[in-house]
Chains A and B, each alone.
Chain A
Amino acid sequence: MLAKLVQIITWANFAGFSPLILSRSPVLVTRSSLTDEKEGLTLDELLSQAFNGLSLGSVLLLISLGLAFSFGLMNVINMAHGEFIMVGAYTTYLLQQILAPALGGVSGGLTFLISIPVAFLAAGLLGFLLENTLIRFLYGRPLDTLLATWGVGLVLQQLARTIFGAPNVQVVSPGWLSGGFSPLPGLNLPYKRLFIIGLVLICVAAIYLYLYRSRSGRRMRAVMQNREIAGTLGIATRRVDGITFAIGSGLAGVAGSALTLIGPIGPTLGTNYIVDAFLVVVLGGVGRLPGTILAALLIGVFNTLLELQTSASIGKVLVFVLVIIFLQWKPRGLVALRSR
Chain B
Amino acid sequence: MVKAKVPTKEILAFRFLPVIAMLGLLAAPLVLSDFRLSLLAKFLTYAIVALGLDLIWGYGGMLSLGHGVFFGLGAYGMAMYLKLEASGNRLPDFMGWSGVDSLPWFWVPFHNPVFAILMAIFIPALLATLLGYLVFRSRIQGVYFSIITQAMALIMVTLFIGQQPLTGGTNGMTNFSTVFGFSLADTGVQVVLYFVTVACLALAYLLCRWLMHSRYGRLLVASREDENRLRFMGYNPAPIKSLAFGVSGGLAGLAGALFVLQVGLITPSAMGIVPSIEMVIWVAVGGRGTLWGAVLGTLLVNYGKSTFSETFPEIWQYFFGALFIGAVLLFPGGIAGFVRNMLDRVFVKASPPKEIPVPVDRNPSGKELESGVEVT
Contacts and interface: CB of A to CB of B under 8 A. Distances in A.
Direct contact of A and B (CB under 8 A): yes
B147 interface: yes
Contacts of B273: 275
A317 B155 contact: yes
A143 B143 CA distance: 7
B321 A331 contact: no
B315 interface: yes
B345 interface: no
B342 interface: no
Interface residues of B, number: 61
Contacts of A157: 317
A287 B315 contact: no
Interface in A11-47: 25-27
Contact of B329 (A73, A137, A162, A226): A137
A146 interface: yes
A278 B150 contact: yes
Main secondary structure on B side of the interface with A: helix
Contacts of A313: 158, 161-162
A134 B325 contact: yes
Interface in B136-168: 138-140, 142-144, 146-148, 150-152, 154-155, 158-159, 161-165
A224 B325 contact: no
The A interface is mostly helix, strand or loop, or mixed, namely helix
A150 interface: yes
B366 A275 contact: no
A141 interface: yes
B139 A331 contact: yes
B320 interface: yes
B334 to A, nearest CB: 11
B222 interface: no
A143 B325 contact: no
Contact of A317 (B65, B143, B148, B159): B159
A213 to B, nearest CB: 22
A75 B332 CA distance: 18
A338 B369 CA distance: 11
B364 interface: yes
Contacts of B315: 158, 162
A299 to B, nearest CB: 12
Interface string A271-293: 00001001100100011000000
Contacts of A331: 138-140, 144, 366
B19 interface: no
A337 B220 CA distance: 28
Nearest to B325: A151
B281 interface: yes
B376 interface: yes
Contacts of B300: none
Contacts of A328: 134-135, 138, 140
A139 interface: yes
Given A142-B142, A317-B159, A147 B366 contact: no
Interface of B: 57, 63, 65, 98-99, 134-135, 138-140, 142-144, 146-148, 150-152, 154-155, 158-159, 161-165, 273, 277, 280-281, 284, 315, 317-318, 320-325, 327-329, 332, 358, 360-361, 364-368, 370-376
A-B pairs, top 7 by smallest CB distance, nearest first, are A151-B324, A154-B321, A155-B321, A158-B317, A151-B325, A148-B328, A151-B321
18 contacts: A139-B375, A140-B376, A142-B142, A144-B284, A147-B277, A147-B280, A148-B328, A152-B321, A153-B321, A154-B318, A155-B318, A155-B321, A157-B317, A275-B273, A282-B144, A314-B162, A321-B155, A328-B138
